[in-house]
Amino acid sequence: MTPLKIEATVDTPCIILDSKNHHFEVSGKSYPEDTKEFYGPVLAWMDLYAADPNPETSFTFKLKYFNSSSYKPIFDILTKLSSIKDRNGKVEIEWFYKNGDTDMLEAGEEFAELFDVPFSYHGF
């Protein structure tokens, strides 16, 4: 698969989806003006990946902030990862949060409650 790499901007996160190098990451701040437009290519890539995933997928979220409209695409990414796990793929989520940012830690914990995928939490 061709990697998808999107550079971060003031209001959009850095996205790296590279199955060959086993690098899957969303990092930075996510409050794009048009969430559907920004995350559309990401979710399309994830659909293709979910059809033929690596045997193991470790996906990193290292968000400093995300707004309510970004919740849905993050949820959709996690749904696709959960479907890979349900088909006997090994999937884990690494959820990074800034030390002391209990809101971001709790967001990760809330997502973890919704999906049967192992989450690990890391302060930075």
Among candidates 37, 58, 45, which has minimal Cα distance to 2? 45
pLDDT tens by residue, 95-114 = 999 999 999 999 999 999 99
Cβ of 82: how many Cβ atoms within 10 Å?
18
How high is the pLDDT of residue 88? 82
- The model's confidence at residue 120, banded by pLDDT at 50, 70 and 90, is very high
Count the domains in the chain. Answer: 1
Strand partners, 63: 28
CA distance 40 to 103: 26
Residue 92 reports pLDDT greater than 90:
yes
For residue 33, the SS3 value is coil
Residue 61 parent element (H or E): strand 56-66
CA atoms of 28 and 21, how far apart (whole Å): 21
User: Which residue range is the domain that position 21 belongs to?
Assistant: 4-123
Q: Of 123, 121, 52, nearest to 92 (Cα)?
A: 121
Tell me the pLDDT band of 89, cut-offs 50, 70 and 90. confident
Query: The CATH number of the domain where 26 resides is what?
Result: 3.30.750
Residue type (1 letter), 39: Y
How confident is the model over 14-67, as pLDDT tens digits? 999 999 999 999 999 999 999 999 999 999 999 999 999 999 999 999 999 999
Q: What is the pTM of this model?
A: 0.94
pLDDT of residue 30: 97
